[in-house]
Structure 1
Amino acid sequence: MGNPGAFRCSVTLQALIVFSLIAVFAADHVQGGDDGCPPFSCGHLQDISSPFRRRGDPLECGVGAYELGCTSSKATIHINTGTYYVTAINYTNSYFRVMDTNFDTNSSCPLPLWNRLPYAGSILDSHGFWDLSIRSGYTACFANCSRAVTNNGAYKPVDCLSADNSHVYVWVYDCSVQELEPYCGYLAMIPFGDEYSSNMQLQLQGASYADIIQLITKGFTVHFPEEEYRKPSLSKVTNICLNNSTSYFKELISHASFVNWIRAFFWSDIYFYRCLDGYFISYHTTRPVVAQLIAVPKFLFVLCRFLLAPLAVWIFLVYKYLKTRITIDAVEKFLRIQQMIGPTRYAYTDIVALTSHFRDKLGQGGYGSVYKGVLLPGGAHFAVKMLEGNSSCNGDDFISEVSTLGRIHHVNVVRLVGFCSEELRRALVYEYMPHGSLDKYIFSAEKSFSWDKLNEIALGIARGINYLHQGCDMQILHFDIKPHNILLDSNFVPKVADFGLAKLYPRGDSFVPLSAMRGTIGYIAPEMISRSFGVISSKSDVYSFGMLLLEMAGGRRNADPNAATSSQGYYPSWVYDQLTLQGEAGEISPVIADMHELEKKLCVIGLWCIQMRSRDRPTMSEVMEMLEAGADGLQMPSRPFFCDEGHIHVEDSYHFTSELTTVSEEFTVVLEEDEE
């Protein structure tokens, strides 16, 4: 029955497995049935046992999916992409309760992370061993709407996150796209509550945003294996697998088929090994010596029967992979990933239809042209930026803009609706800003805004920049804050735009590579030119914002060669002299006497932001606090680096002069390169 070589291979296989079984039972007998893993404490939790384990515990203790991180007061666990606090463990009902670590329960107006994916898929694997299973009964869904929702009682308003033209709502249960109103966009979602809770339904009836937040802060439940499915001893698993293998053998030989008899003699041993091997895989433990012994007969079997076919399949798959990898360029590889998690990808024909064959042109820049687009049948308006071939370089700026804006959802940051990339034809589709950019208002001959409105716009810009620095998993540095890149919607709400120079860096990382040194002359921070002024960081955006703030307050460009006097040619220097003149011998500058209180506040904050050394500037969150406070409590900062040397301390004069000379020379080089 069969050829002699195959028969000898099977005999060798069975002999080795018998030897392995003897070793398994011997090892388990030495252990005495005790896994040697006593209960432990983690944070405020006591008497924790299997399937949970601590970091650094022996591999045979607990299950890898249930590994806890322990501090003096907290126990944490990783589920998919998130980290959660473990607040309680119930062994009787086999579940534990968790809370998202990123959900700020101390905030008066918390919002979950937009990209958190807390759900696990499988419950049982093919060998009958349990996996992690989230059993949340409810889900809170957050959305940002362009107008108020009046026809849907399920939408609960979140007043503290809403603005004039941005209405934030929360509802419970279904978070599918079909549940969204057509003028609303998805913000975030978070599970909460128990799988079976009659009291929860009563609490949700007529619940407000504050009530829902209170329920969210209690977390949600995650089930773990019941007692009979927890990690069994090695001998128990061996007995289970041996019985399964025996049953499989008897079932096959009960049929009179020749093929079944062949399978019974040559596959029953492999069936036993796969069952035993599945135990080690399910509990993420390192295979002991016994498993290594069992791997020997499997290797012999594969070598005898299944070598050539898998090798041929492997070579074919490697060939297809290498061929595909060579033919796809960097932009296309990025877009395939972005298409699943980011904005909509349009075909070029869609862009042509959206802009009515590029009929309504809104503007022109070095990057290309901007056109107005209308999406039918709803009639929503968009701004379509067509990137010229020579402006998109190797696709770096295009990738930077899509990857950056694709993960941002904030009322003061322009929203990227979609993009197009077909060979060298690339376009970016944004929400339409009917009032254009800020520069045409602040540099206008007539005063466009009241001081209260100007302060409100400045605060909105600061909130947008602070969100880029602190609101995402990765901090986003814009590197090109200026009036032209601040857009105004129909209600004059400011939105930070144009992320072609933006870069992503780990939050808290104060060092940025020198390759990021770029921006617009007049708004570039000193450390972008010379590292002697400090490291490139989020403070570089603070400097640019300070220059913008001074232009908003002065109603003119900071550098004006046509000024009435030479002393007024550089506005920051002139206004600093006027503000500091108040304290000298009781003399009060007539300019300051006529200056509005909010104008003075904006100037002082702007001067704080443009300090020469980055460490002397405030953070954007501190800038927001100053803008929200009154002008009385503000102190004047030190004299910024750009002012004349007569005001510099004597001991620092030589050092400052040499640094300013270096900056001046390097600015000249940058300007010459731009002209070329």
Structure 2
Amino acid sequence: MVISYLLLFLAFNIVDVGEGQNVCANESRCGGHGPAIRFPFQLNTQPNDSGYPGFTLSCIDRKHTVLELPISVKLFVKHIDYKSQVIQLYDPDNCFPSQLRWLNLSSSPFRFKVEDPHNYGQQDPDYGLYEYALFNCSSRSKDMDYQYDLISCLSDHTYQVYPATDITASLVSCTKMYNLVSIPDGIILHHDKYVQFEWFTPDYRYCEMIKGKRCVRSNSNGSETPQCISISTHTHGTLSKSAIVGVILGSFLLPCVFGLYCFYSYDKVEKEHQAKVEKFLEDYINLRPTRYSYADIKRITNQFNEKLGEGAYGTVFKGKLSNEIYVAVKILNSSMGNGEEFINEVGTMGTIHHVNVVRLVGFCADGFRRALVCEFLPNDSLEKFISSTVTKNRILNWDKLQDIAIGVAKGIEYLHQGCNQRILHFDIKPGNVLLDQDFNPKISDFGLAKLCSKDQSAVSMTTARGTIGYIAPEVFSRNFGNVSSKADVYSFGMLLLEIVGGRKNVDVTVENTSKVYFPEWIYNLLEQKEDIRIYVEDDGDSKIAKKLAIVGIWCIQWHPVDRPCMKNVVQMLEGEEDKLTMPPNPFASAGSIKTNANIPTKRLNLELEVIPELE
């Protein structure tokens, strides 16, 4: 009985609100908070004919009013001045340079409002707007602070971001991030908390200036022309009709609504999974990556037209946010897990801002449909360029391979030490290192990641996670030590040895009964002081290959305590090869045998006894 009255009440109110939307004089607010919303604006929950095209607003947490500008730029609404036709917006993270990177007002009714002291009416649409280039600088100097204004919201203790007024400028020792085109200088130079937009079409300021009158969209006689009407008379008539229609339709729709509710109700387990994801997204809302609907995802990917790859947890498609902005959209398998991988990826990638980590643009959590929208990197993964099928004609020279190794190491170091919480990736491998147009590396795929506090030396795990061939021994068996950030160090060491050899550490072309363990062969070459004679062209190449091999062997020591931390790994890679010491033999205690260095050895006693973990 209680449910029946509740559904009847909902039906009454739904119809009542819908009928009233034809009247612009009827105001609404998000949960009773925020600015008044009336014509030409409308909420996305209202009928399409209640507002003007391009003026749709939405509500978040029933108290924040949001305006979405092209392309997927979402700003909170502070105030709407209907008389002057100006809307005041703000970024909850107070970081306009990050939000406005994707802004494109060419198809929007809104334009930046800038002060016009001469009252020329802003005939020039670009009046008062400027162009900036943002640069990522690894070091900070007083001279640079004197010439450029630090953008603190994009910076941290590991790097600083500075703007240059010339988008073609080039700051020494800095990396150009992206351009900001046609924006007010107050956003960059004065760190304005609010930005104002104005609209010229539709223009109904004359109606707002008449006391007791407001604009209304009239549907009578097929006319769509807004008119000025009296607020009190028209509003009262509409609400009366709404009440009558609401009661009639509410009683009629009650059985239908109840039947649909029963038919489409989810089972208990699936509801818990969805609730878990939604609860996470509510807590995560302040991080502000864009949330897309599944319809948005289909539009961005052109109905999933171009597939980039497929893995155990989902399929990746190429998408486009605009004519110049491409993205990679990962559609997660709905049958895999309980939403943990989705939470891991969004929760970690959304908090990371580093040149060597893939940027999360947005996500989709539309019922059981979940997707991640990330920046698109045109050169695929590192695995493509170091696999045995292409290394004989490799297009990456050894200097570039060394730069890639250093970039990946810096990305992992940032995950371990640069964030508020330590992030353990647990799936470092060439396939998860993507390359941009300049072959700069970016770490991706955080589905197996685990977060812990920085003062936590070991993490708790109930099952092994990662990819066979890259998983550290302690992840399988606690006989080797506790699981910690050193597990990522081990995986990175295997990645380095693949770069050196141009092949996987377990040769998949060899029969399972005779697996060739490649890292041990590399160690034997180093121990017998023989050259790493694998696809090198000169002595310089040989020195780089040897350095990568030595660092790789240091990283794959069987016991975690014997491996260096990622900070030391970066220092070793950036140093000279002749200053590195030969690492201990990590294979001596695992049953390996001494063989001729020219012949790859077979791995003996590779399997470890799995020891159950005590929580």
- Asked whether the equivalents of residues 520 and 587 of structure 2 are also in contact (C-alpha less than 8 Å), the reply is no
Indicate if the aligned counterparts of 1:539 and 1:617 stay in contact, CA closer than 8 A. Answer: yes
| Paired amino acid for 2:175 | A
Say if 1:634 and 1:178 are closer, same or farther in 2 by CA, change over 3 A: farther
Amino acid at match of 1:598: I
Q: Deviations over 1:375-410 (max 9, x none)?
A: 13x53100000111112x111110111000110000
1:358 aligned onto 2:304: yes
| Matched residue SS, 1:428 | strand
Q: Partners in 2 of 1:642 and 1:530 — Cα distance? A: 18
Aligned residue number for residue 500 of structure 2: 553
Report the alpha carbon displacement of residue 629 of structure 1 after superposing the two structures with TM. 0.6
Return the TM-score normalized by structure 1: 0.50
The aligned counterpart of 1:513 is 460
Per-residue deviation, residues 505-537 of structure 1 (Å, max 9, x unmatched):
001311100226311100000000111111111
Matches of 1:642 and 1:175, distance apart in 2: 62
SS of corresponding position for 1:511: coil
Answer yes or no: is the 8 Å Cα contact 1:568–1:574 preserved in 2.
no
Show the counterpart of 1:9: none
- Output the CA distance in 2 between the equivalents of 1:600 and 1:662: 25
Select the residue among 415, 419, 428 that pairs with 2:363. 419
The within-5 A match list for 1:156-555 is 159-160=172-173, 162-163=174-175, 172-176=189-193, 329-376=275-322, 378-391=323-336, 393-443=337-387, 444-445=390-391, 446-515=393-462, 517-555=464-502
Q: Is the 8 A contact 1:139 1:175 kept in 2?
A: no
Which residue matches 2:561?
615
How does 1:127-166 map onto structure 2 within 5 Å? Answer: 140-141=151-152, 143=154, 152=165, 159-160=172-173, 162-163=174-175
Which segment is superposed worse, 570-579 or 468-477?
570-579
Question: Within the alignment, does 1:629 sit opposite 2:585 as a pair?
Answer: no
1:140–1:384 Cα change, 3 Å: closer
1:336 CA drift (Å): 1.9
CA contact (8 A) 1:604 1:636 kept: yes
2:149 is aligned with 1:109: no
CA distance in 1: counterparts of 2:565 and 2:590, whole angstroms? 26
What CA deviation, in whole Å up to 9, does each residue of 1:473-525 have, x standing for no partner? 10000000001100001111100000000011001311100226311100000
1:39-50 equivalences in 2 (<5 Å): none
Contact 2:273-2:339 at 8 Å conserved across structures = no
Shift of the 326–541 alpha-carbon distance from structure 1 to 2, 3 Å rule, reads: closer
1:640 to 586, 591, 598: 586
CA distance in 2, matches of 1:600, 1:139: 40
Change (3 A) 1:664 1:143: closer
- Measured after TM superposition, the shift of residue 363 of structure 1 is 1.2
User: Could you list the per-position Cα deviations for residues 131-168 of structure 1 after superposition, in whole angstroms to 9, with x for gaps in the alignment?
Assistant: xxxxxxx9854548xxx9998369998755x3366699
SS of the equivalent of 1:339 reads: helix
Do the aligned partners of 2:434 and 2:443 also contact (CA within 8 Å) in 1? yes
Unaligned runs of 5+ in 2: 1-92, 94-137, 143-148, 156-160, 197-270, 595-603
SS in 2 for 1:369: strand
The one-letter code of the counterpart of 2:333 is E
TM-superposed CA distance for 1:178, in Å, is: 5.5
Superposition deviation, residue 664 in structure 1:
3.2
Whether the 8 Å contact between 1:539 and 1:619 is mirrored in structure 2 is yes
Q: Amino acid of the residue matched to residue 625 of structure 1?
A: Q
AA partner of residue 173 (structure 1): H
Q: Which amino acid is the alignment partner of residue 521 of structure 1? A: I
SS of 1:426's equivalent in the other structure is: strand
CA contact (8 A) 2:151 2:162 kept: no
Flag the 1:646–1:497 CA change in 2: closer, same or farther, 3 A: closer
What is the aligned-residue RMSD (CA, Å)? 3.8
SS in 2 for 1:362: strand
Contact 2:507–2:517, Cα closer than 8 Å, also in 1: yes
CA offset digits 1:180-201 (Å, max 9, x no partner)? xxxxxxxxxxxxxxxxxxxxxx
Unaligned runs of 5+ in 1: 1-80, 82-106, 112-137, 180-324, 583-587, 649-659, 670-676
Deviation, structure 1 residue 337: 2.4
Percent of aligned positions that are identical: 45
Distance 1:547 1:390 in 2: 31
Q: Secondary structure at the match of 1:331?
A: helix
Of 445-454 and 492-501, more deviation after overlay is shown by 445-454
Residues matched between the structures, number = 369
- The residue number in structure 2 matching 1:234 is none
Q: In 1, distance between residues paired with 2:431 and 2:150? A: 41
Whole-Å separation in 2 of the counterparts to 1:596 and 1:646: 26
Structure 1 residues 489 and 616: alpha-carbon distance in aligned structure 2, compared to 1, 3 A threshold: same
| Counterpart for residue 119 of structure 2 | none
Shift of 1:342: 3.2
Partner SS, residue 608 of structure 2: helix
**Greater Rg, structure 1 or structure 2?**
1
1:150 to 1:479, Cα distance in 2 relative to 1, 3 A: closer
Higher helix share: 1
TM-score normalised to the size of structure 2? 0.54
* 2:386 partner letter: I
> Is the 1:608–1:617 contact (alpha carbons within 8 Å) kept by the matching residues of 2?
yes
Tell me the distance in 2 between the aligned counterparts of 1:661 and 1:581: 23
Cα deviation 1:536-560 (Å, max 9, x = unaligned) = 1111000000000000111111111
